[in-house]
Amino acid sequence: MKLDAKTAIVTGGASGIGKATTLALARAGARVFLGDVDDTGGAAVQKEAQGAGLKVEFVKLDLTQEVSIDQFAADVLKRAGGRIDVLVNAAGWGRVQPFVENPPEFWDQVLAINLKGPIRLTQKLLPPMFEARAGKIINISSDAGRVGSLGETVYAAAKGGVIAFTKSLAREAARFGVNVNCVCPGPTDTPLYNRVPEKIREAFVRAIPFRRVAQPQEIADAILFFASSRSDYVTGQILSVSGGLTLAG
């Protein structure tokens, strides 16, 4: 799957699924703008990629701040000559905690990073895609948004919103030649997942038919499909990549 001469944005690209996706798209030939709040991690991924001859540029992005989102979009569009071919909304954040113990400021942060921030960034980048009558948007939700997840109630609500956002935007964007799809990872070996209590991680492994969690590259492979020309007639779809964990979902 080739993305030669394409320009892509990946949010949350400093680690985990976002990093794997950044490198996968760059290896496929794309010029990738990596957006992340983590300066050190973002710079390290850029250095690693450029050392391998890949076109990756880190641009600071804080999805909880509207000003940062607007500045990121303007900066990337300027550098890219006004056109973005692929947008991957991969940034995500949450923590396991009973809903009744959640402070309201936690809700605000979860909703900002997982739902409101991606919605705002997408709106800023849609006009040039519509004008070009081409583009691929891939939103990263979670199987928590499809079937729920114990201790992640507001996170699941935000990710469920990403699924609904994907389906609705796909209907609006199709007449402009823009594809909008969604990947729902199950438990994946990322820094965020590894902060989950060990007992919960062990329970996940027992529940997954393949008896292991995903590697970030396995999620990136699904994203690469949706970013490539092989998905040109696919839109509004929700793909679970969970090793069969949610077969009944």
Bridge partners for 10 per DSSP: 34, 88
193 is catalytic: no
Task: Judge whether 114 and 92 are in contact, CB under 8 Å.
Answer: yes
Query: How many degrees, rounded to 5, is the angle at CA 222 between CA 152 and CA 211?
Result: 60
Q: Which of 33, 72, 155, 165 is catalytic?
A: 155
Task: Judge whether 49 and 56 are in contact, CB under 8 Å.
Answer: yes
Distance CA 49, CA 53 (A): 6
Task: Judge whether 133 and 232 are in contact, CB under 8 Å.
Answer: no
Q: Write the CA distances from 65 to 77, 94, 119, 121, 207, integer angstroms.
A: 19, 17, 13, 11, 37
Catalytic residues: 155
